Chains A and B, each alone.
Chain A
Protein backbone atom coordinates (compact mmCIF):
# COMPACT_ATOMS: atom_id res chain seq x y z
CA UNK A 1 0.00 0.00 0.00
CA UNK A 2 2.82 2.36 0.98
CA UNK A 3 4.60 1.62 -2.27
CA UNK A 4 1.44 2.46 -4.19
CA UNK A 5 1.03 5.75 -2.33
CA UNK A 6 4.68 6.66 -2.84
CA UNK A 7 4.34 5.83 -6.53
CA UNK A 8 1.29 8.08 -6.87
CA UNK A 9 3.08 10.87 -5.01
CA UNK A 10 5.97 10.51 -7.40
CA UNK A 11 3.57 10.79 -10.32
CA UNK A 12 1.95 13.89 -8.78
CA UNK A 13 5.42 15.41 -8.21
CA UNK A 14 6.18 15.03 -11.91
CA UNK A 15 2.71 16.34 -12.86
CA UNK A 16 3.11 19.45 -10.71
CA UNK A 17 6.62 20.02 -12.08
CA UNK A 18 5.16 19.81 -15.61
CA UNK A 19 2.35 22.21 -14.73
CA UNK A 20 4.82 24.68 -13.22
CA UNK A 21 7.04 24.52 -16.30
CA UNK A 22 4.15 25.79 -18.46
CA UNK A 23 2.90 28.14 -15.76
CA UNK A 24 1.27 30.83 -17.90
CA UNK A 25 -0.70 28.39 -20.07
CA UNK A 26 -1.94 26.27 -17.18
CA UNK A 27 -2.78 29.29 -15.06
CA UNK A 28 -4.84 30.67 -17.95
CA UNK A 29 -6.66 27.36 -18.25
CA UNK A 30 -7.28 27.26 -14.49
CA UNK A 31 -8.68 30.80 -14.51
CA UNK A 32 -11.05 30.02 -17.40
CA UNK A 33 -12.14 26.86 -15.57
CA UNK A 34 -12.70 28.73 -12.27
CA UNK A 35 -14.75 31.37 -14.12
CA UNK A 36 -16.90 28.70 -15.76
CA UNK A 37 -17.63 26.93 -12.45
CA UNK A 38 -18.26 30.30 -10.80
CA UNK A 39 -20.85 31.31 -13.41
CA UNK A 40 -22.62 27.94 -13.44
CA UNK A 41 -22.69 27.67 -9.65
CA UNK A 42 -23.84 31.29 -9.26
CA UNK A 43 -26.81 30.70 -11.57
CA UNK A 44 -27.79 27.51 -9.74
CA UNK A 45 -27.36 28.99 -6.24
CA UNK A 46 -29.21 32.20 -7.14
CA UNK A 47 -32.13 30.38 -8.79
CA UNK A 48 -32.44 27.97 -5.85
CA UNK A 49 -32.23 30.83 -3.35
CA UNK A 50 -34.93 32.88 -5.08
CA UNK A 51 -37.27 29.89 -5.38
CA UNK A 52 -36.80 29.05 -1.70
CA UNK A 53 -37.36 32.65 -0.64
CA UNK A 54 -40.57 32.96 -2.68
CA UNK A 55 -41.94 29.69 -1.29
CA UNK A 56 -41.20 30.63 2.32
CA UNK A 57 -42.58 34.17 2.03
CA UNK A 58 -45.75 33.08 0.27
CA UNK A 59 -46.52 30.45 2.92
CA UNK A 60 -48.51 33.24 4.57
CA UNK A 61 -50.38 34.26 1.39
CA UNK A 62 -54.19 33.76 1.20
CA UNK A 63 -55.12 30.11 0.68
CA UNK A 64 -57.41 31.00 -2.21
CA UNK A 65 -57.95 34.19 -4.18
CA UNK A 66 -61.13 34.52 -6.24
CA UNK A 67 -61.24 37.04 -9.09
CA UNK A 68 -64.39 37.99 -10.92
CA UNK A 69 -64.14 37.76 -14.70
CA UNK A 70 -66.29 39.81 -17.06
CA UNK A 71 -65.91 39.00 -20.76
CA UNK A 72 -62.70 37.19 -19.88
CA UNK A 73 -61.12 40.12 -18.06
CA UNK A 74 -60.67 40.82 -14.38
CA UNK A 75 -63.52 42.87 -12.89
CA UNK A 76 -64.54 44.23 -9.48
CA UNK A 77 -66.40 41.81 -7.25
CA UNK A 78 -69.69 42.79 -5.58
CA UNK A 79 -70.08 42.17 -1.83
CA UNK A 80 -73.02 39.78 -2.51
CA UNK A 81 -70.60 37.41 -4.21
CA UNK A 82 -68.51 37.29 -1.04
CA UNK A 83 -71.63 36.18 0.87
CA UNK A 84 -72.34 33.49 -1.71
CA UNK A 85 -68.79 32.18 -1.31
CA UNK A 86 -68.96 32.35 2.51
CA UNK A 87 -72.01 30.01 2.41
CA UNK A 88 -69.97 27.21 0.86
CA UNK A 89 -69.03 24.27 3.08
CA UNK A 90 -65.33 24.21 3.86
CA UNK A 91 -64.88 27.98 3.69
CA UNK A 92 -63.72 29.36 7.05
CA UNK A 93 -63.64 33.07 6.16
CA UNK A 94 -63.93 35.37 3.14
CA UNK A 95 -62.48 38.85 2.93
CA UNK A 96 -62.84 41.34 0.12
CA UNK A 97 -59.40 42.65 -0.87
CA UNK A 98 -58.90 46.16 -2.12
CA UNK A 99 -55.77 46.80 -4.14
CA UNK A 100 -54.84 48.58 -7.33
CA UNK A 101 -52.05 50.16 -9.33
CA UNK A 102 -51.11 53.77 -9.65
CA UNK A 103 -48.51 55.05 -12.09
CA UNK A 104 -46.36 57.52 -10.22
CA UNK A 105 -45.04 59.94 -12.83
CA UNK A 106 -42.61 61.46 -10.32
CA UNK A 107 -40.51 58.30 -10.16
CA UNK A 108 -41.80 56.64 -13.34
CA UNK A 109 -42.92 53.54 -11.48
CA UNK A 110 -46.09 51.59 -10.81
CA UNK A 111 -47.11 51.64 -7.17
CA UNK A 112 -49.37 49.06 -5.55
CA UNK A 113 -51.97 50.67 -3.31
CA UNK A 114 -53.56 48.21 -0.95
CA UNK A 115 -55.84 48.15 2.07
CA UNK A 116 -54.38 45.81 4.71
CA UNK A 117 -56.54 43.16 6.40
CA UNK A 118 -55.67 44.54 9.82
CA UNK A 119 -54.00 47.59 11.38
CA UNK A 120 -54.91 49.88 8.46
CA UNK A 121 -53.56 53.44 8.62
CA UNK A 122 -55.90 56.20 9.79
CA UNK A 123 -57.75 58.39 7.25
CA UNK A 124 -55.38 60.55 5.21
CA UNK A 125 -52.35 58.50 6.29
CA UNK A 126 -50.30 55.85 4.54
CA UNK A 127 -47.61 53.29 5.30
CA UNK A 128 -44.89 53.17 2.63
CA UNK A 129 -42.59 50.42 1.39
CA UNK A 130 -38.96 51.19 2.23
CA UNK A 131 -37.79 51.14 -1.41
CA UNK A 132 -40.42 53.66 -2.48
CA UNK A 133 -39.70 55.90 0.52
CA UNK A 134 -35.98 55.82 -0.33
CA UNK A 135 -36.62 56.71 -3.97
CA UNK A 136 -38.99 59.58 -3.15
CA UNK A 137 -36.89 60.73 -0.20
CA UNK A 138 -39.83 60.40 2.20
CA UNK A 139 -39.76 59.85 5.96
CA UNK A 140 -42.57 59.51 8.53
CA UNK A 141 -44.37 62.83 8.83
CA UNK A 142 -43.71 63.83 5.18
CA UNK A 143 -46.50 64.24 2.64
CA UNK A 144 -46.97 61.92 -0.35
CA UNK A 145 -48.98 63.60 -3.06
CA UNK A 146 -50.62 61.45 -5.76
CA UNK A 147 -53.20 62.26 -8.43
CA UNK A 148 -56.42 60.31 -8.02
CA UNK A 149 -58.71 58.79 -10.72
CA UNK A 150 -60.20 62.23 -11.45
CA UNK A 151 -56.77 63.88 -11.77
CA UNK A 152 -57.11 65.69 -8.45
CA UNK A 153 -54.08 65.71 -6.12
CA UNK A 154 -54.45 63.71 -2.92
CA UNK A 155 -52.04 64.44 -0.08
CA UNK A 156 -51.32 61.57 2.28
CA UNK A 157 -49.24 61.91 5.41
CA UNK A 158 -46.64 59.17 5.74
CA UNK A 159 -47.46 57.58 9.08
CA UNK A 160 -44.81 54.87 9.04
CA UNK A 161 -42.39 53.04 6.75
CA UNK A 162 -42.73 49.29 6.31
CA UNK A 163 -39.80 47.33 7.72
CA UNK A 164 -36.90 47.44 5.26
CA UNK A 165 -36.34 43.70 5.89
CA UNK A 166 -39.62 43.04 4.06
CA UNK A 167 -38.63 44.87 0.86
CA UNK A 168 -38.90 41.76 -1.28
CA UNK A 169 -42.69 41.90 -0.83
CA UNK A 170 -43.19 45.58 -0.09
CA UNK A 171 -40.86 47.62 -2.36
CA UNK A 172 -43.63 49.58 -4.10
CA UNK A 173 -46.37 49.16 -1.54
CA UNK A 174 -48.58 52.00 -0.28
CA UNK A 175 -50.93 50.85 2.49
CA UNK A 176 -53.93 53.05 3.15
CA UNK A 177 -57.38 52.97 4.76
CA UNK A 178 -60.48 51.67 2.96
CA UNK A 179 -62.24 55.05 2.69
CA UNK A 180 -59.09 56.66 1.24
CA UNK A 181 -58.67 53.80 -1.22
CA UNK A 182 -62.26 54.04 -2.48
CA UNK A 183 -62.09 57.83 -2.77
CA UNK A 184 -58.71 57.69 -4.56
CA UNK A 185 -59.76 55.12 -7.20
CA UNK A 186 -63.45 56.09 -7.33
CA UNK A 187 -64.62 52.61 -6.34
CA UNK A 188 -68.10 52.54 -4.84
CA UNK A 189 -68.80 50.89 -1.48
CA UNK A 190 -69.74 47.21 -1.82
CA UNK A 191 -67.20 46.49 -4.56
CA UNK A 192 -63.90 44.73 -4.03
CA UNK A 193 -60.86 44.01 -6.22
CA UNK A 194 -61.05 40.30 -5.41
CA UNK A 195 -61.73 37.95 -2.51
CA UNK A 196 -59.31 36.11 -0.23
CA UNK A 197 -60.51 32.84 1.30
CA UNK A 198 -59.44 30.79 4.28
CA UNK A 199 -60.47 27.16 4.16
CA UNK A 200 -61.30 24.94 7.12
CA UNK A 201 -59.12 22.04 6.03
CA UNK A 202 -56.07 22.95 3.93
CA UNK A 203 -56.19 19.48 2.33
CA UNK A 204 -59.58 20.40 0.83
CA UNK A 205 -58.39 23.61 -0.83
CA UNK A 206 -58.83 22.16 -4.30
CA UNK A 207 -62.35 20.91 -3.55
CA UNK A 208 -63.31 24.32 -2.18
CA UNK A 209 -61.89 25.95 -5.34
CA UNK A 210 -64.07 23.63 -7.45
CA UNK A 211 -67.14 24.50 -5.34
CA UNK A 212 -66.48 28.23 -5.83
CA UNK A 213 -66.19 27.71 -9.59
CA UNK A 214 -69.40 25.69 -9.64
CA UNK A 215 -71.32 28.37 -7.74
CA UNK A 216 -69.74 31.35 -9.50
CA UNK A 217 -68.62 30.20 -12.95
CA UNK A 218 -67.53 33.72 -13.97
CA UNK A 219 -64.56 33.63 -11.64
CA UNK A 220 -60.93 32.57 -11.63
CA UNK A 221 -59.64 30.85 -8.50
CA UNK A 222 -55.95 31.00 -7.65
CA UNK A 223 -54.64 28.81 -4.85
CA UNK A 224 -51.65 29.57 -2.67
CA UNK A 225 -49.91 26.56 -4.15
CA UNK A 226 -50.39 28.08 -7.62
CA UNK A 227 -48.92 31.39 -6.44
CA UNK A 228 -45.89 29.55 -5.13
CA UNK A 229 -45.66 27.41 -8.27
CA UNK A 230 -45.75 30.59 -10.39
CA UNK A 231 -42.50 31.69 -8.76
CA UNK A 232 -41.02 28.21 -9.08
CA UNK A 233 -41.77 28.42 -12.80
CA UNK A 234 -40.46 31.99 -13.11
CA UNK A 235 -37.15 31.19 -11.49
CA UNK A 236 -36.82 27.85 -13.27
CA UNK A 237 -37.30 29.74 -16.51
CA UNK A 238 -34.88 32.47 -15.48
CA UNK A 239 -32.35 29.90 -14.33
CA UNK A 240 -32.79 27.94 -17.55
CA UNK A 241 -31.89 30.84 -19.84
CA UNK A 242 -28.41 31.57 -18.48
CA UNK A 243 -27.79 27.85 -18.01
CA UNK A 244 -28.53 27.33 -21.70
CA UNK A 245 -25.93 29.97 -22.60
CA UNK A 246 -23.49 28.55 -20.09
CA UNK A 247 -23.94 25.00 -21.42
CA UNK A 248 -22.53 26.27 -24.72
CA UNK A 249 -19.58 27.68 -22.77
CA UNK A 250 -19.17 24.32 -21.03
CA UNK A 251 -19.07 22.56 -24.40
CA UNK A 252 -16.56 25.14 -25.68
CA UNK A 253 -14.44 24.56 -22.61
CA UNK A 254 -14.52 20.79 -23.11
CA UNK A 255 -13.43 21.39 -26.69
CA UNK A 256 -10.57 23.57 -25.46
CA UNK A 257 -9.52 20.87 -23.01
CA UNK A 258 -9.66 18.26 -25.79
CA UNK A 259 -7.61 20.49 -28.05
CA UNK A 260 -5.08 21.18 -25.35
CA UNK A 261 -4.74 17.51 -24.49
CA UNK A 262 -4.65 16.24 -28.07
CA UNK A 263 -2.45 18.93 -29.54
CA UNK A 264 0.61 17.84 -27.62
CA UNK A 265 3.54 20.11 -28.30
CA UNK A 266 6.80 18.67 -29.67
CA UNK A 267 8.31 19.31 -26.27
CA UNK A 268 5.62 17.31 -24.50
CA UNK A 269 5.95 14.46 -26.99
CA UNK A 270 9.71 14.38 -26.46
CA UNK A 271 9.13 14.39 -22.72
CA UNK A 272 6.82 11.38 -22.94
CA UNK A 273 9.34 9.65 -25.23
CA UNK A 274 12.14 10.17 -22.72
CA UNK A 275 10.00 9.03 -19.79
CA UNK A 276 9.08 5.84 -21.67
CA UNK A 277 12.70 5.28 -22.67
CA UNK A 278 13.59 5.61 -18.95
CA UNK A 279 11.25 2.76 -18.16
CA UNK A 280 7.85 4.37 -17.58
CA UNK A 281 5.06 2.26 -18.98
CA UNK A 282 1.90 3.55 -20.68
CA UNK A 283 -0.06 3.19 -17.43
CA UNK A 284 2.32 5.58 -15.63
CA UNK A 285 2.02 8.22 -18.35
CA UNK A 286 -1.77 7.80 -18.37
CA UNK A 287 -1.90 8.10 -14.57
CA UNK A 288 0.30 11.20 -14.66
CA UNK A 289 -1.95 12.91 -17.19
CA UNK A 290 -5.06 11.87 -15.27
CA UNK A 291 -3.62 13.40 -12.11
CA UNK A 292 -3.03 16.57 -14.07
CA UNK A 293 -6.71 16.73 -15.12
CA UNK A 294 -7.95 15.77 -11.67
CA UNK A 295 -5.81 18.37 -9.86
CA UNK A 296 -6.80 21.16 -12.24
CA UNK A 297 -10.52 20.36 -12.24
CA UNK A 298 -10.79 19.78 -8.48
CA UNK A 299 -8.96 23.01 -7.71
CA UNK A 300 -11.09 24.92 -10.23
CA UNK A 301 -14.30 23.45 -8.81
CA UNK A 302 -13.44 24.24 -5.18
CA UNK A 303 -12.37 27.82 -5.99
CA UNK A 304 -15.24 28.48 -8.43
CA UNK A 305 -17.92 27.14 -6.08
CA UNK A 306 -16.56 29.10 -3.10
CA UNK A 307 -16.49 32.31 -5.15
CA UNK A 308 -20.05 31.67 -6.40
CA UNK A 309 -21.25 31.13 -2.82
CA UNK A 310 -19.62 34.41 -1.71
CA UNK A 311 -21.09 36.20 -4.75
CA UNK A 312 -24.67 35.02 -4.19
CA UNK A 313 -24.98 34.93 -0.40
CA UNK A 314 -22.48 37.52 0.84
CA UNK A 315 -22.34 40.08 -1.99
CA UNK A 316 -26.05 39.85 -2.94
CA UNK A 317 -25.47 38.50 -6.49
CA UNK A 318 -24.60 41.86 -8.14
CA UNK A 319 -24.04 40.09 -11.49
CA UNK A 320 -27.70 39.07 -11.68
CA UNK A 321 -29.20 42.31 -10.43
CA UNK A 322 -29.44 43.96 -13.88
CA UNK A 323 -31.18 40.84 -15.28
CA UNK A 324 -33.80 40.75 -12.53
CA UNK A 325 -34.14 44.49 -12.35
CA UNK A 326 -35.20 44.83 -15.98
CA UNK A 327 -36.71 48.29 -16.31
CA UNK A 328 -38.17 48.43 -12.83
CA UNK A 329 -37.31 51.59 -10.96
CA UNK A 330 -38.32 50.28 -7.56
CA UNK A 331 -35.90 47.42 -7.11
CA UNK A 332 -35.91 46.01 -3.58
CA UNK A 333 -32.83 45.33 -1.46
CA UNK A 334 -32.88 41.74 -0.29
CA UNK A 335 -30.52 39.02 0.84
CA UNK A 336 -30.93 35.32 0.11
CA UNK A 337 -30.70 32.63 2.77
CA UNK A 338 -28.15 29.89 2.06
CA UNK A 339 -28.91 26.19 2.28
CA UNK A 340 -26.28 23.49 1.89
CA UNK A 341 -27.56 20.91 -0.57
CA UNK A 342 -25.02 18.12 -0.97
CA UNK A 343 -26.79 16.61 -4.00
CA UNK A 344 -26.59 20.00 -5.77
CA UNK A 345 -22.85 20.28 -5.01
CA UNK A 346 -22.20 16.75 -6.25
CA UNK A 347 -24.23 17.22 -9.45
CA UNK A 348 -22.49 20.51 -10.19
CA UNK A 349 -19.10 18.90 -9.55
CA UNK A 350 -19.98 16.09 -11.96
CA UNK A 351 -21.28 18.57 -14.53
CA UNK A 352 -18.04 20.55 -14.53
CA UNK A 353 -15.34 17.99 -13.71
CA UNK A 354 -16.54 15.08 -15.85
CA UNK A 355 -16.54 16.91 -19.24
CA UNK A 356 -12.97 18.03 -18.63
CA UNK A 357 -11.70 14.60 -17.59
CA UNK A 358 -13.65 12.91 -20.40
CA UNK A 359 -12.36 15.36 -22.99
CA UNK A 360 -8.75 14.78 -21.96
CA UNK A 361 -8.95 10.99 -21.58
CA UNK A 362 -8.69 9.86 -25.22
CA UNK A 363 -5.89 12.24 -26.27
CA UNK A 364 -3.99 11.30 -23.11
CA UNK A 365 -4.34 7.61 -23.88
CA UNK A 366 -3.00 8.29 -27.38
CA UNK A 367 -0.06 10.18 -25.90
CA UNK A 368 0.63 7.39 -23.44
CA UNK A 369 0.91 4.77 -26.17
CA UNK A 370 3.49 6.72 -28.19
CA UNK A 371 6.51 4.72 -29.28
CA UNK A 372 9.57 6.27 -27.57
CA UNK A 373 11.90 5.44 -30.43
CA UNK A 374 9.64 7.10 -32.99
CA UNK A 375 9.08 10.18 -30.82
CA UNK A 376 12.73 10.75 -30.02
CA UNK A 377 13.69 10.49 -33.70
CA UNK A 378 11.16 13.19 -34.70
Chain B
Protein backbone atom coordinates (compact mmCIF):
# COMPACT_ATOMS: atom_id res chain seq x y z
CA UNK B 1 0.00 0.00 0.00
CA UNK B 2 1.35 3.40 -0.96
CA UNK B 3 2.25 5.76 1.87
CA UNK B 4 0.21 8.61 0.39
CA UNK B 5 -2.44 7.09 -1.92
CA UNK B 6 -3.52 9.77 -4.38
CA UNK B 7 -7.20 8.85 -4.07
CA UNK B 8 -7.12 10.30 -0.55
CA UNK B 9 -7.14 14.08 -0.39
CA UNK B 10 -4.15 14.09 1.96
CA UNK B 11 -2.23 11.98 -0.55
CA UNK B 12 -3.00 14.40 -3.35
CA UNK B 13 -1.97 17.35 -1.18
CA UNK B 14 1.27 15.62 -0.19
CA UNK B 15 2.11 14.85 -3.81
CA UNK B 16 1.34 18.40 -4.92
CA UNK B 17 3.47 19.94 -2.17
CA UNK B 18 6.29 17.44 -2.67
CA UNK B 19 6.25 18.08 -6.43
CA UNK B 20 6.41 21.85 -5.99
CA UNK B 21 9.13 21.54 -3.35
CA UNK B 22 11.11 19.23 -5.65
CA UNK B 23 10.85 21.81 -8.49
CA UNK B 24 12.11 24.56 -6.19
CA UNK B 25 14.95 22.40 -4.83
CA UNK B 26 15.91 21.43 -8.36
CA UNK B 27 16.35 25.03 -9.50
CA UNK B 28 18.13 25.94 -6.25
CA UNK B 29 20.46 22.96 -6.70
CA UNK B 30 21.31 24.25 -10.18
CA UNK B 31 22.33 27.59 -8.66
CA UNK B 32 25.94 26.65 -7.92
CA UNK B 33 26.54 25.35 -11.48
CA UNK B 34 24.94 28.48 -12.88
CA UNK B 35 26.86 30.78 -10.50
CA UNK B 36 30.16 29.20 -11.63
CA UNK B 37 29.24 29.72 -15.27
CA UNK B 38 28.28 33.34 -14.61
CA UNK B 39 31.49 33.91 -12.61
CA UNK B 40 33.48 32.84 -15.69
CA UNK B 41 31.49 35.33 -17.77
CA UNK B 42 31.95 38.02 -15.13
CA UNK B 43 35.72 37.50 -15.22
CA UNK B 44 35.70 39.11 -18.68
CA UNK B 45 33.90 42.16 -17.31
CA UNK B 46 36.24 42.39 -14.31
CA UNK B 47 39.28 42.16 -16.57
CA UNK B 48 37.92 45.02 -18.68
CA UNK B 49 37.17 47.12 -15.58
CA UNK B 50 40.78 46.64 -14.46
CA UNK B 51 42.29 47.21 -17.92
CA UNK B 52 40.36 50.40 -18.71
CA UNK B 53 39.87 51.71 -15.17
CA UNK B 54 36.08 51.74 -15.39
CA UNK B 55 34.03 53.02 -12.49
CA UNK B 56 30.40 52.32 -13.46
CA UNK B 57 27.96 49.91 -15.08
CA UNK B 58 26.91 50.77 -18.64
CA UNK B 59 23.22 50.35 -17.81
CA UNK B 60 21.83 53.87 -18.12
CA UNK B 61 23.47 55.60 -21.05
CA UNK B 62 20.54 57.78 -22.05
CA UNK B 63 21.97 60.86 -20.32
CA UNK B 64 25.50 61.97 -19.46
CA UNK B 65 24.72 62.20 -15.77
CA UNK B 66 23.17 58.73 -15.53
CA UNK B 67 25.95 56.95 -17.46
CA UNK B 68 28.50 57.30 -14.67
CA UNK B 69 26.31 57.57 -11.60
CA UNK B 70 29.19 57.40 -9.16
CA UNK B 71 31.08 60.19 -11.00
CA UNK B 72 28.16 62.49 -11.75
CA UNK B 73 28.08 66.11 -10.72
CA UNK B 74 25.60 66.45 -7.87
CA UNK B 75 23.66 69.15 -9.69
CA UNK B 76 23.83 67.38 -13.05
CA UNK B 77 20.14 66.58 -13.22
CA UNK B 78 19.31 70.28 -12.89
CA UNK B 79 22.03 71.58 -15.18
CA UNK B 80 19.66 73.04 -17.78
CA UNK B 81 17.99 75.41 -15.35
CA UNK B 82 17.15 75.30 -11.65
CA UNK B 83 13.98 73.39 -10.94
CA UNK B 84 14.12 71.70 -14.36
CA UNK B 85 11.98 68.62 -14.47
CA UNK B 86 13.93 65.42 -14.83
CA UNK B 87 13.98 64.33 -18.47
CA UNK B 88 14.90 60.68 -18.24
CA UNK B 89 13.22 57.70 -16.59
CA UNK B 90 16.57 56.43 -15.31
CA UNK B 91 17.19 59.71 -13.45
CA UNK B 92 13.84 59.49 -11.70
CA UNK B 93 14.62 55.98 -10.52
CA UNK B 94 18.28 56.47 -9.71
CA UNK B 95 17.67 58.26 -6.42
CA UNK B 96 18.96 61.57 -5.14
CA UNK B 97 22.71 62.16 -5.06
CA UNK B 98 24.32 61.81 -1.67
CA UNK B 99 26.89 64.35 -0.57
CA UNK B 100 30.46 63.08 -0.70
CA UNK B 101 32.43 63.10 2.59
A109 near B24: Cβ-Cβ < 8 Å: no
A302 near B69: Cβ-Cβ < 8 Å: no
Q: Which residues of A contact B64 (CB under 8 A)?
A: 101, 110
- Once bound together, how far apart are the Cα atoms of A313 and B69, in whole Å? 25
Residue of A nearest to B79 (CB): A73
B85 at the A/B interface (Cβ < 8 Å)? no
- Once bound together, how far apart are the Cα atoms of A241 and B57, in whole Å? 21
A200 at the A/B interface (Cβ < 8 Å)? no
B61 near A302: Cβ-Cβ < 8 Å: no
Q: Which residues of B contact A295 (CB under 8 A)?
A: 13, 17
A163 near B44: Cβ-Cβ < 8 Å: yes
Question: DSSP class of B's interface residues: helix, strand, loop or mixed?
Answer: helix
Smallest distance from the beta carbon of A195 to chain B beta carbons, Å? 10
Q: Decide yes or no: A53 and B42 within 8 Å by CB, A16-B13, A163-B48 being known contacts.
A: yes
B93 near A323: Cβ-Cβ < 8 Å: yes
Q: Which residues of A contact B58 (CB under 8 A)?
A: 112, 129, 131, 167-173, 330, 332
B56 near A227: Cβ-Cβ < 8 Å: yes
Binary contact track B24-43/A, C-beta < 8 Å → 1, others 0: 10011001001100110110
B45 near A170: Cβ-Cβ < 8 Å: yes
Which among A59, A117, A227, A238 is the interface contact of B51 at CB below 8 angstroms? A117
B52 at the A/B interface (Cβ < 8 Å)? yes
Which among A57, A116, A339 is the interface contact of B46 at CB below 8 angstroms? A57
B53 at the A/B interface (Cβ < 8 Å)? yes
Q: Decide yes or no: A302 and B23 within 8 Å by CB, A62-B55, A295-B13 being known contacts.
A: yes
A361 at the A/B interface (Cβ < 8 Å)? no
Q: Decide yes or no: A302 and B17 within 8 Å by CB, A166-B45, A238-B93, A340-B28 being known contacts.
A: yes
A309 at the A/B interface (Cβ < 8 Å)? yes
A226 near B10: Cβ-Cβ < 8 Å: no
Q: Decide yes or no: A327 and B89 within 8 Å by CB, A67-B71, A97-B53 being known contacts.
A: yes
A60 at the A/B interface (Cβ < 8 Å)? yes
Which among B13, B52, B59 is the interface contact of A332 at CB below 8 angstroms? B59
A231 near B69: Cβ-Cβ < 8 Å: yes
Binary contact track B7-30/A, C-beta < 8 Å → 1, others 0: 011101100110011011001100
B61 near A328: Cβ-Cβ < 8 Å: yes
B45 near A306: Cβ-Cβ < 8 Å: no
B35 near A337: Cβ-Cβ < 8 Å: yes
B55 near A227: Cβ-Cβ < 8 Å: yes
A328 near B90: Cβ-Cβ < 8 Å: yes
Q: Which residues of A contact B42 (CB under 8 A)?
A: 53, 56-57, 165, 337
A54 at the A/B interface (Cβ < 8 Å)? yes
Binds B, one of A7-15, A147-155, A179-187, A265-273: A7-15
B48 near A170: Cβ-Cβ < 8 Å: yes
A116 near B12: Cβ-Cβ < 8 Å: no
Smallest distance from the beta carbon of A76 to chain B beta carbons, Å? 14
A328 near B60: Cβ-Cβ < 8 Å: yes
A328 near B100: Cβ-Cβ < 8 Å: no
Q: Decide yes or no: A337 and B38 within 8 Å by CB, A9-B8, A54-B57, A329-B62 being known contacts.
A: yes
* Contacts of A103-123 to chain B: CB distance below 8 A: 109-112, 114, 116-119
* Contacts of A210-253 to chain B: CB distance below 8 A: 220-222, 226-227, 230-231, 233-234, 237-238, 241
- Once bound together, how far apart are the Cα atoms of A314 and B26, in whole Å? 13
Which among B9, B28, B62, B67 is the interface contact of A15 at CB below 8 angstroms? B9
Looking at B62, B70, B75, B100, which has the most chain A CB atoms within 10 Å of its CB? B70
Can you list 27 pairs linking A and B with CB atoms under 8 Å apart?
Answer: A10-B10, A13-B10, A57-B49, A57-B57, A58-B49, A61-B53, A62-B53, A74-B73, A110-B64, A112-B61, A112-B68, A163-B44, A165-B44, A169-B48, A172-B67, A220-B100, A230-B56, A303-B20, A306-B27, A313-B31, A314-B27, A323-B89, A329-B62, A330-B58, A332-B59, A337-B38, A338-B38
- Chain B residues within 8 Å of A, Cβ to Cβ: 8-10, 12-13, 16-17, 20-21, 23-24, 27-28, 31, 34-35, 38-39, 41-42, 44-64, 67-71, 73, 75, 88-90, 93-95, 98, 100-101
